[in-house]
Chains A and B, each alone.
Chain A
């Protein structure tokens, strides 16, 4: 019934109108979502015009006077910004290189498990930290990693003198990478586990009968089975690089002034200078805009690369 109407849809305006009427309840259901996105995503996008204005509280976004590219000129000379920019690039690239492959490896290893119950036990345990907020985890980590915490005590048992990595410029970033893996590896591996579970078991059985080694099964069955999932998640990760895929929570709750020089990222810099120093809103908007643009460019590039490798890509 519905498909007949769709066939008629394009010749006349009337038919389009009747299709629209046919979906009237669906439009009604969609309305709140559309309003939500317009208000909380698209209005702020319009608000980026502030990057070209001096913000005046009394006049709002619309009424504030235009100043052209002045904020971007200031940006070029802002040492603190460039420091944050550099940290963002380093931390996010390191997280990409260190973290991205690990959940894939974990999923493959777990999938090789013959015992289903053990697999479930480990999966349950590894995904647990994902559901705990960085506020809480920071509290736990501060306790463990403080100068007289279990971490330094353990190292001193091994005869190593150590101090807290939370206030050490050389150790803060590695600590970020390790704790990020610790929190998310289990959760991130789930989607790969799901993809692996979708592979037809007959394929494995046939391969085993043909005498394929464990590595060959991995190479010719498991990997092709998850390749497209890996590609899509890779593009998504790259698209979130400049916002560090939500690392604001982690860094903001763990860092302190001794490690600002290695830990301050664009996001924490924007928050800190806006709400504690009281920087110009127009200027901080320009900083945020630059970040969003870099993100978008990276996403487009990653998508192109993935497509060139013969994968589907995101769009």
Chain B
């Protein structure tokens, strides 16, 4: 960006910051590294202290056990459905709403904006929310992870700010050609803001992928539990079902025993994989998205 600065020699300040940032980077990275090596650990080579620093083995039995758990697959399916359905629902209504709210001349716009902003600072609390969701009939329905969880007010405001930066002239000329507002949004605005749309689509996707709170409160049927709840059960309330699968697999297929933490860490790796895959793409765009959103009208 600033070639004059880049050409200079490393100063003491640079060296010190590199060391500090490097140390921070290590701390950030280490827990994930630890997860990966434990997930590949072999039961009989475990000497715990070794396990924490260097990988001792590459044993896939923990992964085999997790992947052969039917509960894993049913929760995986629920999460896929919630993520796809959730992104579609959230994007459609937030984009349409944010676009409408970016129209300064629209009567009533400020009132609606104020009502929306107010919800960021005041809410009815858990119990009234629970009762409303119950009234709407969403208890034990996977839509509860898609609809009530659907709008992130912060994203909506950022989108609105973004749309208001698009020059009016673009729309006016389309209007002269006889296009209506729906057509303008779908055929002009959305196509020119694809990278921005992708960023927020991915934000919503990550949110839905990580969804557990609505499930915790509203879903009691085990077969409708999402991946995060499955993980919670394995990680927090001991992995009894996985352990028994591991035992039977060990007996039937003459496999070695599986180390319980390996099972837990393997399930973490599998469930984080999709985020790790989209992350580089996400990372490229989000700083821009946030920048646009931080600008005031």
* Interchain Cβ contacts under 8 Å between A and B, 20 examples: A9-B107, A19-B105, A26-B181, A33-B94, A37-B116, A44-B124, A44-B128, A44-B131, A44-B132, A45-B123, A47-B129, A109-B20, A115-B6, A122-B21, A131-B279, A182-B27, A191-B291, A205-B4, A270-B126, A292-B122
In the complex, the answer to whether A201 meets B2 with C-beta atoms within 8 Å is yes
> How many Å lie between the Cα of A229 and that of B151 in the bound state?
24
Interface residues of A in 1-15 (CB under 8 A from B): 1-2, 5-6, 9
Shortest Cβ distance from B87 into chain A, in angstroms?
A: 15
Shortest Cβ distance from B51 into chain A, in angstroms?
A: 9
Interface residues of A in 245-272 (CB under 8 A from B): 248-249, 253, 267, 270-271
Query: Which residues of chain A are near B2, meaning CB under 8 Å?
Result: 201, 204-205
> How many Å lie between the Cα of A123 and that of B290 in the bound state?
14
Query: Binding site of B, secondary structure by majority: helix, strand, loop or mixed?
Result: helix
Size band of the interface chain A makes with B: 35 or more
In the complex, the answer to whether A27 meets B100 with C-beta atoms within 8 Å is yes
In the complex, the answer to whether B96 meets A30 with C-beta atoms within 8 Å is yes
In the complex, the answer to whether A122 meets B286 with C-beta atoms within 8 Å is no
Task: Give the nearest-CB partner of B135 in chain A.
Answer: A60
Query: Which residues of chain B are near A5, meaning CB under 8 Å?
Result: 105
Say yes or no: A289-B125 contact (C-beta < 8 A), given A16-B107, A191-B294, A281-B131: yes
**B30-38, B192-200, B243-251 - interface stretch:** B30-38
Query: Which residues of chain B are near A37, meaning CB under 8 Å?
Result: 115-116, 119, 151
**What 4 A-B pairs come out closest when comparing CB atoms?**
A288-B125, A47-B128, A44-B124, A33-B97
B-side interface residues, number (CB < 8 Å): 98
Interface residues of B in 104-143 (CB under 8 A from A): 105-107, 112, 115-117, 119-133, 135-136
Task: Give the nearest-CB partner of B133 in chain A.
Answer: A40
Query: Which residues of chain B are near A115, meaning CB under 8 Å?
Result: 6
> How many Å lie between the Cα of A118 and that of B18 in the bound state?
9
Q: Does B45 contact A (CB under 8 A)?
A: no
Q: Does B283 contact A (CB under 8 A)?
A: yes
> How many Å lie between the Cα of A41 and that of B268 in the bound state?
33
Shortest Cβ distance from B48 into chain A, in angstroms?
A: 7
> How many Å lie between the Cα of A85 and that of B264 in the bound state?
34
In the complex, the answer to whether A195 meets B34 with C-beta atoms within 8 Å is no
Q: Does A61 contact B (CB under 8 A)?
A: yes
